Structure 1
Amino acid sequence: MSYVSQSPIHNIVNKASTNLFAFAYKNVAKKAFFAMPPDQAHDAMISGCSLAGKVPPLMWMLRGMLDYTDPALETEVMGVRFHNPFGLSAGLDKDCKLPAVLDAAGFGFETFGSTTARPCAGNPRPWFHRLPEYGSMMVHAGLANEGSAKVIARAEKAFTNVSTLRMSASIARTNDKLVGDLDEGIADYRTSLERAVGRTDMIEVNVSCPNTMAGEPFTSDPKNLDRLFTSLDEVSRPQPTLVKLPLNKSWDEMKALLDVLAEHNVQGVSLANLQNDRTGMDDIPKDWKGGLSGMPCGKASTELMARVYRDYGDRFAIAGVGGVFTPQQAYAKIRAGASLIMFISSLMYVGPQNISTLKRGLVELLHADGFDNVQQAVGIDVR
């Protein structure tokens, strides 16, 4: 896969289109969405984008307006070639309904789900609370999804039809009243993993969802994590596997988990899941359940990436998650060791055109520091 730089005229048009999109989102779409309760706005956005993705002329227009490309953004991670390192994190496109829109908008990849072995209704609503003063959403969805049999079948169609978007299946343990012992949880993960074999570009095993009945047994004890991946290792798969880990662990606790994963068929780690620490955020109502997305995750996740890269950079690729609103924030995570960058919150607060802003800004930052390609900058602050 190789792409040439866009012509100066195309760049001018693309930048103007991005600015127009930003103006329209801020003054029209955002106001409309923010007039709705967050859960309703989320459902409306998913439905609207899903319908738009089925209209080829709209996708052609979206690609022409937003998709910025540059060879400096091309990268290969875990043997997978990416048009650019930016992707949608798990948690937004739970049922894999957005690939056509994300592809046209210029995302390098998307992580759909997390999806589970059984269809899952999720936690009681509300699932979301907006925290604009913190650049965050409080998330308590509880892995709501249609079940991995249906979701992964939908993803397979996208996997064979989108042009440049890479597809990653995030799988997790079903969060419902049928949750049993550790063996039941392991069987649940394995069912979804078996369904995903060969049908996506990557697989992410989410062992760190903080909003479930069963809690996080596979990160609370490294022996449990070892049992899980001993079973998953028996499932032969062509795709690389990442593991999504929690943010709020001590380094000794995190290192124990990473030491376990290093002994298994795992190629990367996603760092990290939602922020559970509300220190300094006393104005958040105490009855609001869930973890914090976006900016509250930013500093801690970047620091965690640097530590993981320093000690495990030769073993795991890192997908960086949390607090990516600007090219500078994305670049900081890359320099700390992230080869891939994922985000959600900035799509809501800044707008969908932010993917173009992030890519263009990253290219400028790379060239300003003398790098020809994003891979050259990975971990440069830690080496």
Structure 2
Amino acid sequence: MSYVSQSPVQNAINKASTNLFTFAYRNVAKKMFFAMPPDKAHDAMISGCAAAGRVKPLMWMLREMLDYTDPALETEVMGIRFDNPFGLSAGLDKNCDLPAVLDAAGFGFETVGSTTARPCAGNPRPWFHRLPDYGSMVVHAGLANIGSDKVIARAEKAYTNAKTMKMSVSIARTNDNLVGDLDEGIADYRTSFERAVGRTNMIEVNVSCPNTMAGEPFTSDPNNLDRLFSELDKVDRPQPVLVKLPLNKPWPEFKELLDVLAEHNVQGVSIANLQKDRTGMDDVPADWKGGLSGLPCRKRSDALVAQTYREYGDRFAIAGIGGVFTPRQAYMKIRAGASLVMFISSLMYCGPQNITTLKRGLVELLHEDGFDNVAEAVGVDVR
């Protein structure tokens, strides 16, 4: 679908609606959710959005009020045409409950999961702790999901029914007491990978979840990563594949992983997973297990995006993740080399209407710098 710029009337309605949603979220919904324990609030949000997504008149109204469009946002990445470069990162919509709401709100794409070959209960609760002073959450969910057979079936339905949003599914290794050796892990990935073939726009392979029993064997040793993708390369698929990489690798080790992926049928990389380093955050209780989302990820993510783009150019499409609360933060990732931008934490702290703020603000920043579209700005700071 190709968009023309919104009319002045549509633009005014969209601005007013966004302001109204922002006021309502800040003064009503956010206060209600933040009065609950984070795990309970998360579950309530997921179930509420899933229910709302089944009410078609409500989704029509949401689209009419919030979905800001502009030709400058349209972009083609890995052969896929996106109406805008903004997507939900894996980790929030574990079981594919949110596509209808996100599509109506105007997301360019969504990544569901990460999902695993076997249903996974996840780590012991609590899974989340809020860190509002840091724009972050401590996340320790441990890949809880209902299993890739069911999640991918839901993703396929969303892929088929979506009006504009593209669908990606993130697959990971099952985190349970049946975890075995490396061969078992590779077989586990392949099971989910085969289930996803032809059923979504993209597949993301998450090799960097920091909260699992098996650890991260595929990023600790490049030879293990090579073995995994040598197996996945045997599976024919029409979709592009991205690999979600760890945040806390020094560049030489990170580059070793990229060098391996460059030899395989991999089109993109998601940079990056949760922040493990809590330096300067001494007030965060040590017994709060998990990685940090949001703003603590931003600087390191931007640096890895820039270095990857600088050294690999167009070999990999880059999806930049971490600390995207404002249009300028998104724009910095794009100028560093990201063709797509993903986030989660700003949804909780700013509200679902923030997708509109990000899109509108990005268009303004692009035009201020003389760019006609997103693609023109990708990597300009490191070219």
TM over 0.5: yes
Q: Show the counterpart of 2:129.
A: 129
Alignment root-mean-square deviation, CA: 0.4
- d(CA) in 2 for partners of 1:290, 1:312: 31
The number of residues matched between the two structures is 383
Q: Which residue of 2 aligns with 1:328?
A: 328
Whether 1:116 and 2:111 are equivalent positions in the alignment is no
Q: Which residue of structure 2 aligns with residue 355 of structure 1?
A: 355
SS state at 2:315 partner: coil
**How far off its partner does 1:313 sit?**
1.8
In structure 1, the partner of 2:98 is 98
How far did residue 305 of structure 1 move? 0.3
| Equivalent-residue separation in structure 2 for 1:313 and 1:149 (angstroms) | 35
SS in 2 for 1:122: coil
Structure 2 SS opposite 1:190: helix
User: 1:68 aligns to what SS in structure 2?
Assistant: coil
In structure 2, C-alpha distance between the alignment counterparts of 1:102 and 1:312, rounded to whole Å: 32
Q: Residue 2 of structure 1: CA displacement?
A: 1.2
CA distance in 1, matches of 2:253, 2:362: 33
Q: Counterparts of 1:157-196 in structure 2 under 5 Å?
A: 157-196=157-196
Return the offset for 1:140. 0.1
Q: CA deviation at 1:320?
A: 0.3
SS where residue 61 of structure 2 aligns?
Answer: helix
Residue equivalent to 2:16: 16
**CA-to-aligned-CA distance 1:66-96 (integer Å, 9 cap, x gap):** 1000000000000000010000000000000
SS at match of 2:219: helix
Q: Following the alignment from structure 1 to structure 2, what is the Cα–Cα distance between the partners of residues 80 and 266?
A: 15
Can you list the C-alpha shifts for 1:152-200, whole angstroms capped at 9, x where unaligned?
A: 0011111100100100000000000000000000000000000000000
Counterpart in the other structure of 1:86:
86
- TM-score, length basis structure 2: 1.00
d(CA) in 2 for partners of 1:34, 1:379:
38
Q: Secondary structure at the match of 2:297?
A: helix
Amino acid at match of 1:331: Y
| Runs of 4+ that moved beyond 6 A | none
Give the whole-Å Cα distance in 2 for the aligned partners of 1:301 and 1:256.
Answer: 17
The runs of 5 or more residues in structure 1 that have no matched partner are: none
Q: Which residue of 2 aligns with 1:260?
A: 260
1:314 deviates by 2.1
Q: Distance in 2 between matches of 1:379 and 1:314?
A: 10
How far does residue 296 in structure 1 lie from its aligned partner after superposition? 0.2
TM-superposition CA deviations, 1:90-131 (whole Å, max 9, x none): 000000010000000000000000000000000000000000
**Within-5 A mapping of 1:32-111:** 32-111=32-111
Give the 3-state SS of the residue equivalent to 1:16 in structure 2: helix
Distance 2:335 2:155 in 1: 31
Match of 1:303 in 2: 303
CA offsets 1:277-328 (integer angstroms, 9 cap, x no match): 0000000001000000000001110011000000012210000000000000
Aligned-partner Cα distance in 1 for 2:313–2:241 = 16
Cα distance in 2 for partners of 1:128, 1:283 equals: 16
**Is there any run of 5+ residues in structure 2 with no aligned partner, and where?**
none
Question: Could you tell me how far apart the structure 1 residues matched to 2:161 and 2:256 are?
Answer: 40
Question: What SS is found at the alignment partner of 1:314?
Answer: helix
Aligned-pair identity in percent equals: 83
**How far does the alpha carbon of each residue in 1:191-239 deviate from its partner, in whole angstroms, 9 at most, with x for none?**
0000000000000000000000000000000000000000000000000
Aligned-residue offset at 1:262: 0.2
| Equivalence map 1:265-280=2 (5 Å) | 265-280=265-280
Distance 2:157 2:336 in 1: 35
| Deviation at residue 381 of structure 1 after TM alignment | 0.2
- State the shift of 1:367 in Å: 0.2
Q: Deviations over 1:242-294 (max 9, x none)?
A: 00000000111001000000000000000000000000000000100000000
| Corresponding residue SS for 1:298 | helix
Give the Cα–Cα distance (whole angstroms) in 2 for the partners of residues 314 and 135 of structure 1: 32
| 1:145 partnered with 2:145 | yes
